[in-house]
Amino acid sequence: MAVPRYWREIPARYNLIGNKCTVCGNIYFPPRAICPICRRKSFGKMVDYKLKGTGVVESYTIIHVPPPHFEGEEPYIMALIKLDEGPYITAQIVDCDEKDVHIGMRVKATFRRIMDDGEKGAIYYGYKFIKE
Amino acid sequence: MRDVAVIGIGMTKFGELWERSFRELVAEAGIEAIIDAGIEGKDIDAMYIGGMSSGGFVQQEHVAPLAIEVAGLEDFHIPSTRVEGACASGGMAVHQGYIAVASGIHDIVLVGGAEKMTDVVGTEATNVLASAADREWEAFFGMTFPGLYALMARYHMHKYGTTPEQLASVAVKNHYNGSMNPKAQFNRRISIEDVLASPMVADPLHLLDCSPITDGAAAAILAPVEIAKKYTDKIVKIIASTQASDTISLHSRKRFDALPAAIHAAKNAYKQAGIEPKDIDLAEVHDCFTIAEIMAIEDLGFFERGKGGKATEEGLTSLNGEIPINTSGGLKSKGHPVGATGVAQINEIVSQLRGEAKERQVKDAEIGLTHNVGGSGGTAVVHILEVV
């Protein structure tokens, strides 16, 4: 992956910084350029918003056939999480037995290594979730 | 707006066709459709070719003129356009062709779709397909395509009590139908136990809940009904052609137990055709995963929300059921060369409406529907066809 493409998303991926529409007050993650409710009225009026990183599992799966960068890590849990501020997020759940994960489980964000570009390549970091 | 008819269909055998190239597949499907229509290549005014990622799979972009070249039509210099919408690319090509003919811009249009997926190894194919999801906010974190549908499956199971056996019954039915389709990738019949015993891909989806990696191409010839009468007595008219969109990422949608884009496309299609779901005699739906067919038959209004699994288990969608779904074998058994799928669905409905589907013929079929989805639901295309 080219470095600028990774670097641009660092604030959101490291610190869960989404954004907020100052017109209607809705909060978004990942950050959006335009609020889908206020549209043109929101353009230029979206401000950074730090999410607490806590939420609840709405659905989950256990990945047994991973994409190339995740080979060797399977099986791992991926979940659809509803953050307490409203937005939904797709993330891995770690430090949790696959038999324990369930819909309705409270989780919180943690900073982890996501993947790398091989031994000599960059290492990519970001959020994963653990049991609250 | 002019009425539009499908006057010719063609498709290659679907499967792991290691000995055949992307170009050969495109040529074969196109020629078959041209011969079926009774036209000549020089009669074609424009082409629309659906393809998800020829770049990712065979490192070849710019495939619209390539299709012209393999067809030997370069001397006519007709416009040829590639259409991309992930797994809905084929349906979108048909929709674009429909718009071109209905508007009066073009008369005879070839619409096609092709994908050659086995020239890369399995993990790379998974990676290319993952680009139909949100690369930065889903795939980056380790999410896969089966994983996204697994999230919807688990959600549907939790909310409505849909069971793994009900999911499996979709695959069993589609393999049964596919066993009678000589062009299908798999002609093998399977049981509920086979599905549940197959390895997990993304829990709760087993290997046999997933459509395969496939090579194949399909084509169709569209013409205004007035011109179609010159070529055939059995006119299959497109009475609705709609396309709808949604967010590319699943997590940004308003709901996870349905595909809102498909609901929207279906609603507009019924309105355009002036009919209701109960008027449909059979449908080809986008069963990329078993849960996708269950959501599809609910999104299309054939069954109440949450009842799709039970309806399938009870045989209501079987070949002799209330509304036969995926008589071709669907994506599950016929195979899913992503760009070709939407056009292959049109092939099946046209052959059913003409009464040419042999062993899998649905009796007295007059109105058929196709439902083609891109990604996890970012794009949906619906067509309704009627024999007149």
Query: Does A100 contact chain B (CB < 8 Å)?
Result: no
pLDDT in the model for residue B177? 98
- What are the distances in angstroms from CA B326 to CA A77, B85, B278? 32, 21, 17
pLDDT in the model for residue A121? 86
Examine residue A22 and state whether it is found in any structural domain, yes or no.
no
Q: Is the C-alpha dihedral spanning A89, A95, A97, A101 positive or negative?
A: negative
Count of residues for chain B? 388
What average pLDDT score do residues B303-311 get?
Answer: 98
Confidence of residue A1 (pLDDT cuts 50, 70, 90): low
pLDDT in the model for residue B283? 98
What average pLDDT score do residues B84-108 get?
Answer: 98
Query: Does A125 contact chain B (CB < 8 Å)?
Result: no
Which among A59, A75, A124 is the nearest to B151, CB-wise? A59
In chain A, which residues have their Cβ closer than 8 Å to the Cβ of B146? Answer: 65
What 3-state class would DSSP assign to B299?
helix
Examine residue A82 and state whether it is found in any structural domain, yes or no.
yes
CA–CA separation, A80 and A61 (whole Å): 9
- Cα B32 to chain centroid distance, Å, stands at 19
Query: Does A44 contact chain B (CB < 8 Å)?
Result: no
In chain B, which residues have their Cβ closer than 8 Å to the Cβ of A115? Answer: 140, 142
B89-100 pLDDT, tens digit per residue, is 999 999 999 999
What average pLDDT score do residues B240-246 get?
Answer: 98
pLDDT in the model for residue B96? 98
B203 contacts A68? CB cut-off 8 A: no
List CB contacts of B230: < 8 A, sequence separation 6 or more. Answer: none
Domain that holds residue A121: 52-131
What 3-state class would DSSP assign to B77?
coil
Across chain B, what does the average pLDDT equal?
97
- Chain A: give the shortest CA distance to residue B149, in Å: 9
A90 contacts B141? CB cut-off 8 A: yes
Examine residue A72 and state whether it is found in any structural domain, yes or no.
yes
Q: Which residue of B has its CA nearest to A79?
A: B151
Which among A59, A66, A124 is the nearest to B155, CB-wise? A59
B274-290 pLDDT, tens digit per residue, is 999 999 999 999 999 99
- Cα B100 to chain centroid distance, Å, stands at 20
Question: Where do the domains of chain B lie, and which CATH numbers do they carry?
Answer: 4-121+214-236 (3.40.47.10), 134-212+239-387 (3.40.47.10)
Kindly state the tokens that stand for B370.
Answer: 């196709």
**A25 pLDDT exceeds 90?**
yes
Q: Is the C-alpha dihedral spanning B305, B306, B307, B309 positive or negative?
A: positive
Identify which of A106, A59, A32 has the alpha carbon closest to the alpha carbon of residue B202.
Answer: A59
What average pLDDT score do residues B64-75 get?
Answer: 96
Output Rg (C-alpha) for chain B, integer angstroms: 19
Q: Which residue has the tokens 């996708």?
A: B292
Query: Does B245 contact chain A (CB < 8 Å)?
Result: no
CA–CA separation, B55 and A50 (whole Å): 38
B182-202 pLDDT, tens digit per residue, is 999 999 999 999 999 999 999
High-pLDDT (> 70) share of chain B, %: 100
DSSP letter at A24?
T
Pairing of strands B109-116, B46-50: parallel
- Catalytic positions of B: 87, 336
What is the arrangement of strands in the sheet containing B282-284, beginning at the earlier edge strand? B80-83, B46-50, B109-116, B215-224, B4-11, B236-245, B379-387, B367-374, B282-284
Look at chain A and report how many structural domains it folds into: 1
Size of interface A-B (CB pairs under 8 A): 100
- Chain B: give the shortest CA distance to residue A28, in Å: 9
A98-127 pLDDT, tens digit per residue, is 999 999 999 999 999 999 988 888 899 999
A47-105 pLDDT, tens digit per residue, is 999 999 999 999 999 999 998 889 999 999 999 999 999 999 999 999 999 999 999 99
Question: Could you tell me the CATH number of the domain that includes residue A113?
Answer: 2.40.50
List CB contacts of B162: < 8 A, sequence separation 6 or more. Answer: B153, B156, B291, B294, B306, B308, B309
CA–CA separation, B301 and B254 (whole Å): 19
**B241 pLDDT exceeds 80?**
yes
| ∠ CA B210-A114-A89, rounded to 5° | 65
Evaluate whether B372 touches B285 at the Cβ level (below 8 Å). no
Q: Convert B41-59 to b/e letters by CB count within 10 Å (16 or more is b).
A: bebbbbbbbbbbbbebbbe
Examine residue A39 and state whether it is found in any structural domain, yes or no.
no
Examine residue A105 and state whether it is found in any structural domain, yes or no.
yes
What average pLDDT score do residues B311-316 get?
Answer: 98
Which among B127, B155, B251 is the nearest to A67, CB-wise? B127
Query: Does A16 contact chain B (CB < 8 Å)?
Result: no
B133-192 pLDDT, tens digit per residue, is 999 999 999 999 999 999 999 999 999 999 999 999 999 999 999 999 999 999 999 999
